Amino acid sequence: MKKITVLLNLFASIVAVISALTFAAASYGKTYYSLGSDKEVLGAGFESELRLPLDSCLDGQWIYQGGSAGGLAYRGAFDSNSMMNSLTGSIKAGVNLVIFGGSVKLSMRNKVTENDSAAASTIELNYQKGSYNFEDRTIKPEIVDLIANNPTAVRDRCGDGFIHNVKLGSNIYVTAKLHFKERTEYEWYQTKVKIKVLFWSKTVTKTKEFYEATKNAVYSIDVHTDGGLTPRLQALTAGGPRYCKTDNVDACIDYADELFAYLLNGGDYANDLNDSHLNNITYDVESYEKSGHYDLAYAGSLNISKRYIELSERLRVYQDFVDNEIENLLAFIAVADDPVDKAQQESRLQERYSQKTALNDSADYCFTLPGTSLCEINMEAAIATVN
């Protein structure tokens, strides 16, 4: 097989982007990927058995920790659980995903990873600019009263720890994908094509096997971030993903080149990035016991049902399924030539969007912990819409 030219040589250029970002912020406790829920804030209580942020039971000061860190990685065969692992470095098989909540970020993680109908390659650019610690901590007066008068209720309200540190940053993913209409075509591709790096140059020579395995597929280039978009990156991504038939991918390659010229290769991204573009990327949880808040550490026992974990994992399977099909439908609609076929796919897409809304609404409802029975009834009604 002739040599396939890929963008891995861009790694050398990352030195210019992160040369000054050598001081990493301190890390405490166990790290969790931030899903951007309204409970994932500094000082919030946290229940480790349920992986669930709860009420804030401590008063304290937000103390900024200076220093930054950056990194670049190539991800081939990058599944969604591996993405979680790569960001936190402290979990196994994605189990630290907070139950329910965070539908937008959960959907994003699917868009930058492969699934059973799409192969993916991702260039991942990470930037962290400092963090905030929660210091000078004292137990809130109303929680002191709760400990004295109703200690059994403390664990359910405060958890067994608290969010001690939040890290600010921006993770950018430039993803090349091959979308397949049928799972059998995807499996045929995985079997026949030995090199699966999907960033190409216009001069690359592809084999007959490759063309045969991908003749019905759609190629795409897309960029996602869980930080903010700089003005230039917002302009570059305003048109959404670029979709190409596999016999003519020049437009997609041009788009990838334009993105990398800005993000890497001495581009202006690092200079344009400022604090307004940063979000909470990860957070660290500290136990009350380790923090010395023994009244909270030993008050009460967990009464929130662990059944919520099972329900959340069941719901997420359907959320992932619908998100993946929406992405696939968008790819094939973008290059469709047959008006009848396109109309059928657009109708199917609207059905999937409705299902996505129902599933996400159910996740938001269950995130309020209404009781497992009410959560399950609501969830199963949403799941029943998926066909």
**How do residues 247-287 score in pLDDT, each as one tens digit?**
999 999 999 999 999 998 778 998 898 888 899 888 999 99
pLDDT band at 37 (very low <50, low <70, confident <90, very high): confident
Q: Where are the domains of the chain?
A: 7-302, 305-387
The average confidence (pLDDT) of the chain is 86
Residues 6+ apart with CB under 8 A from 311: 99, 366, 372, 375, 376, 379
Q: Which structure tokens are listed for 198?
A: 């999907």
Rounded distance between C-alpha atoms, residue 118 and residue 187, angstroms: 10
Residue 33 scores a pLDDT above 90: no
If you write DSSP's letter for every residue of 291-334 in order, what string do you get? HT-HHHHTSS---S-THHHHHHHHHHHHHHHHHHHHHHHHHHHH
Residue 235 scores a pLDDT above 80: yes
The whole-number pLDDT of residue 88 equals: 57
- Range with top average pLDDT, 2-6, 24-28, 68-72, 77-81: 68-72
The whole-number pLDDT of residue 290 equals: 94
**How do residues 145-185 score in pLDDT, each as one tens digit?**
999 999 999 999 999 999 999 999 998 999 999 999 999 99
The whole-number pLDDT of residue 23 equals: 29
**How do residues 41-87 score in pLDDT, each as one tens digit?**
999 999 988 888 999 999 999 999 887 888 888 888 777 767 766 66
Q: Are the C-beta atoms of 379 and 366 separated by less than 8 Å?
A: yes
Rounded distance between C-alpha atoms, residue 30 and residue 17, angstroms: 29
Residue 231 scores a pLDDT above 70: yes
The whole-number pLDDT of residue 267 equals: 87
Share of the chain above pLDDT 70, in %: 88
Residue 370 scores a pLDDT above 80: yes
pLDDT band at 18 (very low <50, low <70, confident <90, very high): very low
Residues 6+ apart with CB under 8 A from 58: 43, 45, 134, 137, 138, 139, 140, 143, 162, 293
Among residues 163, 102, 86, 159, the alpha carbon closest in space to that of 132 is found at: 163
The whole-number pLDDT of residue 154 equals: 95
The whole-number pLDDT of residue 5 equals: 31
Residue 15 scores a pLDDT above 90: no
89 Ramachandran zone, left/alpha/beta (phi>0; psi -120 to 50): left
The whole-number pLDDT of residue 96 equals: 52
pTM recorded for the entire structure:
0.84
**How do residues 86-104 score in pLDDT, each as one tens digit?**
665 544 444 456 678 788 8
Burial 121-154 (b: 16+ CB within 10 A, else e): bbbbbbbbbbbbbbeebebbeebeebbeeeeeeb
